[in-house]
Amino acid sequence: MVAGTLSEDIALRIGLAARTLPDTDPARLIRVLADAVGLPPTADSLASLKVKDLKQAADGEFAHLDQAELKAALAILKGEGLEEADPPPPVQPYADGDMPDSIRVACASDHGEELDGHFGAAHCFLIYQVSAKENRLIDVRVVDDSKAGDDKNAYRAELISDCQVLYVASIGGPAAAKVVKRDIHPIKDADGGSARDRMVALQGILAGKAPPWLAKVMGQAPEDRIRFERDEAEA
């Protein structure tokens, strides 16, 4: 009965926002919204909604959820990022061995070649191969939550399991743990912007003296990293 009172736009927002929250379907989210803003939710009532309202509504049903996940859901409820997305650029050819001493990097994205995706809600992952000399967009992996089963974060982490680094606008603690479990180093970049620019910056780091975490990602032996750090200190 409630769903019949919702506009098509608001119903879409609720459906998409529910996907970003663990163990949440649209009916559960509507119950929380009913207490937070009343029924039916409207664009005006959702515009004034805050994360703390979601945490406190319905006797704190969402109080245990990660702040980053609630922020991502709230942005969708307010209609942010729902405009038709620009398509990502075409991928470039790549075969194993083409780029010696390179690493594979995933960027969570919702629009074009932008780094603007929350891990649990991003439409796709842009996959780059990056070395000190060049970077290539070698794949675009579109997220299909219908394949996620009971654990969407595990599904998304598996989708990028061949990568060593993940750039993301935001990621919750439980999701980050699943990423790290697959030996992927997550980097939060809330400012967003061009994913390609991030790859160019990463090239510069690879060309210089890589920090210990990146040396580990690149497979550099611990004794080499220690020697590198000693040499740097003596310089």
Residue pair 81/75 in contact (Cβ under 8 Å)? The answer is: yes
The residue extents of the domains of the chain are 2-77, 103-228
- Interhelix angle 152-159/173-181, rounded to 10 degrees, is 40
Please tell me the predicted confidence (pLDDT) of residue 224: 45
**Number of other residues whose CB lies within 10 A of the CB of residue 20:** 27
The superfamily CATH assigns to domain 103-228 is Dinitrogenase iron-molybdenum cofactor biosynthesis domain (3.30.420.130)
Q: How many helices (H) and strands (E) does the chain have?
A: 11, 5
Please tell me the predicted confidence (pLDDT) of residue 228: 35
Please tell me the predicted confidence (pLDDT) of residue 24: 85
Q: How far is CA 30 from CA 41, 43, 93, 115, in A?
A: 8, 14, 45, 30
Residue pair 126/192 in contact (Cβ under 8 Å)? The answer is: no
Measure the CA–CA gap between 195 and 116, rounded to whole angstroms: 9
Backbone dihedral angles phi then psi of residue 99, each to the nearest 5 degrees:
-130, 90
Please tell me the predicted confidence (pLDDT) of residue 234: 42
Residue 41: partners with Cβ closer than 8 Å, 6 or more residues away: 6, 10, 14, 30, 33, 34, 77
Please tell me the predicted confidence (pLDDT) of residue 79: 84
CATH fold of the domain at 2-77: DNA polymerase; domain 1 (1.10.150)
Identical topology for domains 2-77 and 103-228 = no
Mean pLDDT by 10 residues, the chain (235 residues): 69 84 87 94 93 94 87 86 70 93 94 90 93 96 84 93 95 90 92 93 89 77 43 39
Instruction: Please give the helix or strand (H or E) that residue 186 lies within, else none.
Output: strand 185-188
Q: Which residue intervals of the chain are DSSP H helices?
A: 2-5, 8-20, 26-37, 43-47, 51-60, 67-77, 152-159, 173-181, 195-207, 212-217, 222-234
Please tell me the predicted confidence (pLDDT) of residue 83: 59
Q: Tell me the pTM.
A: 0.70
